[in-house]
Structure 1
Amino acid sequence: MTTTTREEACAAVPVPASLSGELAGYQWMRDHVGESGGEVYRLHGKPGAPDLFLKTGRDLSADDLANEMVRLRWLAGYLPVPDVRHFVGSPDDAWLLMTALPGKTACQVLQANPDAGLAVVDALAEFLRQLHAIPIGACPFNADHAYRLAHARMRIDAGLVEEDDFDEEREGWTAEQVWEAMNRLLPLSPDPVVTHGDFSLDNLLMLDGRVVGCIDVGRAGIADRYQDLAILWNCLGEFDALLQERLLARYGIACADQRRLQFHLLLDELF
């Protein structure tokens, strides 16, 4: 999605009473990137007040927002992430209100200045190393591939996988075909670290050449390091294969494990 279509102005939506006072006076923008089955709004233009992001979802999306809320609060002790202002949850829906991080997404930076690609990748690799250096003994969240496989199977059975959004090399595939191809790559020998879970260019904020934070952390937890590497590697391939090589080199991988790389690319198609 281009930077010109990622969001559009919209009317304020009805919110729980506990949020209405804080949201009064804001202008609303509907954000179309990273909605993950819910709705995302950027709130801006209130004199003397910071920009905010509001996420809302129902059913499984509500569960995802609860997961994101607890992970944001935990990750705040290690990395720059949005501050949770309010969380409202019920058996049917959830509302997560957060501060906005400064800067532009890494995707926006690359689109605006492709010549900065190597410097951007170097900054991303440094931030990824910082994330993966968080002690796994301090992380209370499991996100290994066994856990993710169970969740992926649930999404397939519930008809939640967007088959028309698969990567080009899997265009026309069904979710079941992705599932079968992925399982043919098992078993794996993972190298567990604390992962983001969706380490994409749209989820990393940059300012003055540095990564200043990450968003959409609802899948964060202990998993194979290729969980993050595969997603970022895939995103960079949309710009230049040389950036993919640079990522692996700057992260510290001399020879990529193609089996683990492909497994996590297939797994990501189901989310």
Structure 2
Amino acid sequence: MLKNNLKIGVFDSGIGGLTVLKKLLQGFPRGVDFFYFADTARVPYGSKPIETLRGYVGEIFDFFFQLGIDAIVTACNTSDSILSQREKQNLPVPYFSIIDPTVRAVGSIAPKGSEVSILATSNTVRRSLYLRKLFRYENLRRITQKACPLFVPIIEEGIWEGEIVDAVVRYYLAEINRMEPDYLILGCTHYPFIRKVIEASISQKTLLVDPADYILVDLKNWIGETGDKESRVTYYVSGNPESFQRILGRYFQREGNVIPVDLVDERITIRG
């Protein structure tokens, strides 16, 4: 058994990755120190130029390496979609994709003739990584994707239910509802914040897929047995730490150890 907790870096453009972190904490109540980076000063990632995002991700990785992390979990579908397989494999620590295990799971469990739809950011749809990987499975008859650019800004504002969310969800899901796919992948980690609204808006035959469930399986297979020290989380936030702390209180029903960081000269440094 490990004496010291493993150090796992988890990152997202904002609060969306908290939906992944929640699953990870449930899966690893002991033995892991999580370092969550929320790039709230530069959210959303879903509509920014790809080269700009590649720079952001590189800065986050460099920051994680300074912290001495043992592995990186991407809790951002957009970031995962812009990195090549070679870039992921050439990192000095293991990298856990959120897209790859989801594709493997859906591709392996879907009966022949199944239809799959993906809700995602504009950049994830543009990169079409889910689409290209799912096309390899002959049991899938039709695969479609839908960009939902308004979801992330609304969720980051803390609007997770009510008339605004209902209207936006109905607007984006209108075409998908006509198709009634067998599986609907939440291709952005922000989207589980409005899962109940999405579920209420789709056909009963459509199964909602949360990629966080499958990245947890991959991480469990890699980690194996953990130590017995309680898992902890340290949050690093590039935007407003007070606002992020309020989100933590609302989502986890408790405050967290939130450390503000500065973005200076393409580097991330701890404030103060």
Task: Assess same fold via TM > 0.5.
Answer: no
Q: Which has the higher contact order (CA 8 A, sep 6+)?
A: 2
User: TM-score when scaled to structure 2?
Assistant: 0.27
